[in-house]
Structure 1
């Protein structure tokens, strides 16, 4: 590892480790292990042949009594690069406890509970086998004990996953029905194999349940807002990936041309290399149960909601929350919900799930308080009223100022603060967008980081859960490099601008340019007298390790123009009274 990469890793990892040490989490992991049922039959390193001549390996968990009766059962399956042998039951985790991530990352909202057979972000075999399923945990090519070339977010992974599903479905103990479940990478891999990204989905694949996964690696994470993310890829690679590659890092360099941490240097624009890593979401027609959080803004929120919105499936459901993703995934509520979903599409038990409304929306008042959890029929909500709040000196106002104004701040040291107070109870659920007219003095480029906070009636910031254990996040956030401001007009909407990722447009001296900044969705309730605080700066406002953006720290002032012909404004998603919706 080069010195610069080591420095980035330390900046990403040390704050997380120090926090874990202070909480005592390094020695008391934030998860609860349970022992699996005595009826569990565990088959490790089952070899699955690929058409290319190599073998993948999977761990298969079944019921001993069902096997003795030659009973055929449906399968819940997952696939990933994390080495399926790293489970407590095989004593390959630190001190034979939960996966090591639970010793480092704060678990917002509680402590996940799962059996000793459960791998990182994978479905718990004990739960599923008790309910009449088999569980298959698959190593993708080149990881763990699986053979073949390793890759990341690739069509080759998808094809191999599909072949493995076909092979599992043909086994004597499987009834031919397979569903997918899992978190993060285990969700992302579902998008690829369930779509026509690489090939037609396997006939045995009947449904998918992706829980929080990016669906556009370039826009969602590595170049979000046109600004290079350097912290997370180094952290992710060193803490989760480097030890699981079967033949070492050189193998993936040969396949991908470089490690993930180097991809944005090799491919700074959205070229064919990146497009090949975007799953064809519009071709997904299988039933879906999608888990999305408003607490993963730096990572999975946008990609997960995009997958739900774009999939053409006529049977798709969305479950939202703002607690920790692992706490939610392993909760009794979500396990039962996913069981009802799998029972419906793998066992034909339609009475408990098929008539369920399509969206479960959790609206929060603050980090700890759920204002309401209710059913909706779609996302985004059809009755959303998008209202502009115009920038005027230190305030956000519903009336556009008639005279031109300049609001400036030092790009390296100052933060612009603008307030708005609600004069009635208000729910904001959906996408935010910020339109600005910007001038960058003394330089031909600049970065804008934006945080939207909730304020209580006394003007104090109200915090929410965020990504990777962050507990001081805002309602929403966004960012933009000015030279990367060009929009993809085919994908953009008035409430959600999408960058093209294909151009570099430096600013000319004295040039005022319109920019649109996508701000991530949330569902938040405000009482009368509470308000919004919009923060704008030229640097990251809320540090959120392991995430780090590469910002050059340009000197000079950033000028925002508002009033008259410059309708700089924040677009907010106001939800009228939900009398027609049903509370869960």
Structure 2
């Protein structure tokens, strides 16, 4: 039986803090929230998040390997903060409450201090979130305007709840969050991504309600972060969905995934979508959410560096404050003059050029086909006349095609796609496309990605049996696969595959080359390391997003010989967004860590 959790209120560090405030759902389950607000009586706009990571878990205790290098490299994160109340991927109350905001953190059903069945991204969880928004918007200390802000899970859930249109929801800032549970979070173009099997035990299950005394404690209250009761392993298992088993039970994009994916056209609230160029889980969602939402007032911001870095930096905080100041407070923050798209274009030296744009993809894009010439291994804008074939071991090194050195700096910014003509010795094949930049000596440029200190330019994937297209939703630069049925291959028969490559940005200097590697397995940088590790995974250019589940990729089906065809009536090519220089630029270059080279 759930123990009673006391609601406590106190004044500390210049804030009125209410711990474990009860919020009763329509079915009687009581969720618990922490509320940080100004001491003075008044009505304040609310910044809320709702999720499973335990509102009482201190960032530096729960995620020290991420916190310590972040603060060391960006000490500005602690400006105006004691860090006593900082959570993973949420706002710091000490940086917002003095500006006249109330910060509300809710433990979602079955997580942290909230009892119930833990079922991530479920319709029930989203319904709870909408109820919490309405609760916050009707408190005496609220001005009736609720804004949502958070990273990753706390961004995914924003897309979901915004589609339900709770009346007191006034604005959202989903920062690096997926929108499609199948295409982005669990499967890459039909290939099972093993991320959930590694992330769920270490970040969600450890904070399940009922872990109690076996878990961490809130350093501010001394209470268990996932209690107060301590349940048995059997009781805990009975109170949660087996999220990994759910994915195995649903290999195709059925209702299970659709009800856990955002209905983006139903979103009408003002939004700022902040995306990262290189997150293997979330990048696509930031662009698709912005593009498909029906909001009349919406902005897209795209950055690089680590997953949470720009969320906490002074630049990120300034964006968030100006956006919420405009929509939650009605202040003149200059946001009405904010360009609809703000890009941080990547350069190979680790710098980012901040640039304002009017649309996405960029209207001046020169969509350019780079042909994979199987006859000589080159990547060229000149189509091969003769048909050639190139077989490769699906689980081997694959094939790499490279351009001649560029004669002048060339910017590639936008979504991309590929048309590959392939056959297989089996009835299926997985295609992994990796876009790379090579320096004049042929060495890889390693870009800082969201979860890997050394990443590539862009990735694309497709399971050949998922090659069917939705003609109405497909775009030349973004094919759309329904993933709802299988079309097995006939061994030895070549078929065209349209492959989505997630949005990217890079300026390739003169003398450097662009390359693409085609494989039947995850790409790895050459060399012996040592490689950084996360979730027990050695990161070799693919971060923690692997596709090596033996049940999803049995060797007898995906370990054959794949043959790439190109030339004549069956050209294979990349469609890349080449961007000519614009005379209209935004001044300022933000530097990041200098990329390593292989």
TM-score interval (norm. to shorter): 0.7 to 0.9
Partner of 1:75: 46
The Cα offsets for residues 295-327 of structure 1, whole Å up to 9 and x where unpaired, read as: 21x110001211111111111111111111211
Offset, 1:110: 3.3
For 2:341, the equivalent position in structure 1 comes to: 359
TM-score by length of 2: 0.84
State the match for 2:561 in structure 1: 557
- 1:195-223 deviations in whole A, cap 9, x for unaligned? 13xxxx22221100110111111111312
Deviations 1:495-518 (A, max 9, x none): 111221112122113211100111
What's the C-alpha RMSD, in Å, of the aligned pairs? Answer: 2.2
Which runs of at least 4 in structure 1 moved beyond 4 Å after TM superposition? 103-109, 247-256
Post-superposition offset of 1:280: 0.8
Q: 2:13 is matched with which residue: 38, 52, 58?
A: 38
1:351 to partner: Cα distance: 4.2
Q: Is the 8 A contact 1:108 1:323 kept in 2?
A: no
TM-score (norm 1): 0.86
Task: Tell me which of 134, 138, 146 is aligned to 1:170.
Answer: 138
CA offset at residue 246 of structure 1?
A: 1.8
Of 252, 257, 264, 2:247 maps to 264
Q: Residue 50 of structure 1: which of 17, 21, 25 is its match? A: 25
Distance 1:314 1:304 in 2: 17
SS in 2 for 1:462: coil
Alignment of 1:40-119 (within 5 A): 40-64=15-39, 66=40, 70-87=41-58, 97-100=60-63, 102=65, 110-111=73-74, 113-114=77-78, 115-119=83-87
Following TM superposition, by how much is the alpha carbon of 1:435 offset from its aligned partner in structure 2, in angstroms? 0.8
Unaligned runs of 5+ in 2: 1-10, 211-230, 525-539, 589-598
Deviation at 1:87, TM superposition (A): 2.2
Aligned to 1:189: 157
Question: 1:582 offset after TM fit, Å?
Answer: 3.8
**Deviation for aligned residue 1:444:** 1.6
The Cα shift of 1:566 comes to 0.6
| Cα distance, 1:108 vs structure 2 | 11
| 1:378 alignment counterpart | 359
Which secondary structure state, in structure 2, belongs to the residue aligned with residue 407 of structure 1?
A: strand
Residue 124 (structure 2) aligned to one of 156, 160, 165: 156
Distance 1:367 1:120 in 2: 30
> Does the CA-based 8 Å contact 1:288-1:316 persist in structure 2?
yes
Label 1:494 to 1:255 Cα distance change in 2 as closer, same or farther (>3 A).
farther
- Aligned residue number for residue 535 of structure 2: none
Deviation, structure 1 residue 37: 7.9
3-state SS of paired residue (2:244): helix
Report the Cα distance in structure 1 between the residues aligned to 2:187 and 2:93, rounded to whole angstroms.
36
Give the structure 1 partner of residue 305 of structure 2. Answer: 323
Residue 7 (structure 2) aligns with: none
For residues 83-118 of structure 1, give each alpha carbon's deviation from its aligned partner in whole angstroms, at most 9, with x where no partner exists: 111126xxxxxxxx3432535997599347352201
Structure 2 residue 552 is the aligned partner of structure 1 residue 548: no
Post-superposition offset of 1:166: 1.5
How many residues in Structure 1 have an aligned counterpart in Structure 2?
527
Q: Tell me the alpha carbon deviations over residues 243-298 of structure 1, each in whole angstroms, 9 at most, x when there is no partner.
A: 22225787897688x411112211111111111111111111111011100021x1
2:282 match = 300
The 8 Å contact of residues 348 and 508 in structure 2, kept in 1 or not, is answered as no
1:340 equivalent in alignment to 2:336: no
Q: Which digits, 9 at most, give the CA deviation of each residue in 1:38-79, with x for residues without a partner?
A: 312221101112222221110111122x2xxx2221111111
Residue aligning to 2:5:
none
Residue 196 of structure 2, aligned match among 233, 250, 255 = 233
Q: Does 1:431 align with 2:435?
A: no
Counterpart of 1:202? Answer: 166
Relative distance call for 1:520 and 1:189 in structure 2 (3 A) is same
